[in-house]
Every structure is written in structure tokens, then in C-alpha cells.
Structure 1
Amino acid sequence: MLAAIRRRRILDLLARHEYVTVGEACTATGASMATTQRDLAHLATAGALTRIRGGATRPATARDEESNLVACLTRAGRAAGIQDLATVETELRQALDACRRLRDHPASAPVSPRR
């Protein structure tokens, strides 16, 4: 089967399910584990899916990233209130990662500051 057809089948699986395992993708495409891993890597590089251990999920939306950013900043604020600086650092790092993903997200538009 052609790579484009295999990859389309993998994306069709993800359209129906929140995540797909490598085994499910192998069964759907009839490809070997190694070929399926390469297909998943290719699709992840293209931003069509997100790799997870043992398979893949749909890519995060800009709204998911915004929610993640708000949650990280909220947790950082709480940790600062009790002077847990290690947690503050961890949460701020995660918030920065979320900001980078939002900046690079294909569907993200400039966000106006909330007042």
C-alpha cells in the first residue's frame, strides 16, 4: 500500500477515536510495526498528530493550549503563595512551553489581552 494511503487511514482512525495505538494502525493499514512507526513519525512532524507512548493522539488545539497555559499560571500563583519555589519554577517552565506551542500553532491568531 502506498504511504499516502496508509497515512490517510491512520488519520481516519484518529478522526473517529481520540487516540490510536501502533497495533491498531498496523491492523488498519496492513503495514509492519516499523513502517507504521515511520508513518506516525512523518505525520507527527507534519503536525497532523501528536505522538504518545505506544501510538498517537489528535494534535492539541489552540484552545487546549490556552487552557493549559491558564492552569499552569494558576498553579504557579498558588505555589508562590506558599513559597514553594520549585513548583513555581516547574509551572512557569510549562507555561512558557505552552506559550511557544500557541505561538507556533497553525490555527492561532493574535490574542488580545483580557481586561
Structure 2
Amino acid sequence: MMDTVVMLASQRQERILTAIREHGAVRVADLVVALDVSDMTVRRDIAELARAGLVRRVHGGAVTPETPARSTDEPGFEAKRTWSSREKAAVARAALATVEPGQAIALSAGTTTWLLASMIAADATLRPLTVVTNGLRVADALHGTDDVEVVLTGGVRTPSDALVGPVADATLHELRVDRTYLGVHGLDADGPTTPNLAEAATDRALVRCAAAATVLADHTKWGVVGLARICGFDEIDTLVVDTGLGAEARTHLSDAVDRLLLATPEPTTGDQP
């Protein structure tokens, strides 16, 4: 009997690891349903995996050890670019469908907004377009694209290649755009967050210079809380997240924003259709 119990625990933990490696994060509530076990059993399995250094425990679930910690940890662009890449691409594709030719839009700094900028650069049907950004990588992705005017805010550069601070904020205060697309570090019941105080202020300026605001967040951002709150959900009309988001979070967010868009990541090689 003991061998059977150990084997079953090992199987559960392997499934938890597989889910985290695929999605970047898991929630206890979703694992309880998927594994058909109790909340306490899932938490014990996660605790065992955390002790082995295979996952990092967070409120309500677990993430990969490489996922940024909650408060002030601010990884660089290259580190974040590889995290949850399929999910980020799906979110960017869904956001692309909401961009219209002739608009003036704003893109914040970030890896998902950088993907969106790259998709905009490749889509000739969106011309002409004006793009305001505080993201150096975003500006690089759009540089040289015909009929796309890029307005770079200026400011002080952060580890994530965002331009922030009084210069950026003052520039955005004078501008008006149709829609802002905002990438975020974390997302919880109170809204989007970032670990950088100056970036939070500039992100708020990006939201407030727009007639409408869309937040782009892959599902691993849910439950991650940065030091500084950017804004409340009452200032966001659309949230784009991938289908890895758990049922409880979907319910909360669909009530919090006017429109919740769920993006389906493309299958990887070997996935079942």
C-alpha cells in the first residue's frame, strides 16, 4: 500500500511540473479539479516540489523558479522575453485584431507589447498608424516601417528598457491617443502592478492619455503583485489574457472589465490538435 501511495504522489507531482513548464504557473484551485484531490493534497505536493527547488510557491499556486518574485524584482528584457512565449504571442495576436488603420495608439514597454509592435510592423493593412511608446524595444520593432509614425517619449531607461520619469510623463500629458496597450508585470484582484515606482507613474500617464485602455497579460501574471499599483480596473476597458487563466480568475476579471478577451496559444510540435 505504501508503495502505491508514493507512486501516486509522484505521478501528481509530475503532472504539476508538466503544467508549470507548459504554462509558467498553476493555481491550486485548478489543480484540485484536474487531479481530483483535496486542496491540502495539492498544497503538500507543491510544498514538496518547492523544497526540491523545482517550483516557487506563490499565493494560490506555484510558478517556475525563474518567474519574477512579487515586490521589487525587475528582470531585464532578454530574461522576460523567453517566459511564456506561446502565451504572449497569442495575447499579442488577439490585441492586433483590435488595432485599426488611421489610429493613434500607445504601446507601453514590455515583451508582449514588443511582440504586438512586431506584428504591426508586418501587417501592411494597418497603415497609416501613429504609435506613441516609452519602450525602446517597441520603437526598434517599428523603426523604418512605412506609414507608421513613431513618437518616443524620452525619459530615464529602466532594466526592462522602458523610458520613465518626469520627461516621459510630461510628454504623455500633452498627447491624446485612441487606445493604449499596456503590458504589465503582475495582475491581481485590485488591478495591474509593476515593481518600478517610476514606471508605474509613466504607465498611469499612458493610460490617462488614451480614450480607451487595453491590458495585455499572459495568465502567469495573475497573482503576481509588484510594489506599485498602476491603476484600477475601472480605468481599463479591455483585458487580453491567454486561455491558461483559471476559472476563478476568469470570473473575477470578466466582472472587473468591460471586455475580457481569451487568446488561444498555438500548439507546439507534438501537441494534439
TM-score normalized by the length of structure 1: 0.51
Q: Distance in 2 between matches of 1:26 and 1:66?
A: 31
Q: Distance in 2 between matches of 1:29 and 1:5?
A: 10
> What secondary structure does 1:20 align onto?
strand
Q: Which residue of 2 aligns with 1:36?
A: 42
Matched AA of 1:41: A
Query: Is residue 50 of structure 1 aligned with residue 63 of structure 2?
Result: no
Q: Distance in 2 between matches of 1:41 and 1:16?
A: 19
Query: Is residue 5 of structure 1 aligned with residue 11 of structure 2?
Result: yes
Count of aligned pairs: 67
> What secondary structure does 1:11 align onto?
helix
Q: Distance in 1 between matches of 2:25 and 2:12?
A: 16
Q: Distance in 1 between matches of 2:50 and 2:16?
A: 12
Q: Is the 8 A contact 1:10 1:29 kept in 2?
A: no
Matched AA of 1:13: A
Unaligned runs of 5+ in 2: 68-72, 77-158, 160-273
Q: Distance in 1 between matches of 2:9 and 2:24?
A: 22
Unaligned runs of 5+ in 1: 72-115
Runs of 4+ aligned structure 1 residues displaced above 2 Å come to 65-68
For 1:79-90, what aligned pairs fall within 5 Å after superposition?
A: none
Percent identity reads 39
State the structure with more CA Rg: 2
Q: Distance in 1 between matches of 2:74 and 2:38?
A: 37
> What secondary structure does 1:48 align onto?
coil
C-alpha distance after superposition, 1:63-89 (max 9, x if no partner) = xx8947xx5xxxxxxxxxxxxxxxxxx
Q: Distance in 1 between matches of 2:34 and 2:58?
A: 18
Q: Which residue of 2 aligns with 1:20?
A: 26
> What secondary structure does 1:60 align onto?
coil
CA positional deviation for 1:31: 1.2
Q: Distance in 2 between matches of 1:66 and 1:37?
A: 28
Backbone CA RMSD of aligned residues: 2.4
Matched AA of 2:26: V
Matched AA of 1:30: D
Q: Distance in 2 between matches of 1:58 and 1:25?
A: 16
Q: Is the 8 A contact 1:50 1:56 kept in 2?
A: yes
Q: Distance in 2 between matches of 1:49 and 1:17?
A: 13
**Range moving further from structure 2, 12-21 or 48-57:** 12-21
Q: Distance in 2 between matches of 1:47 and 1:16?
A: 17
CA positional deviation for 1:24: 1.3
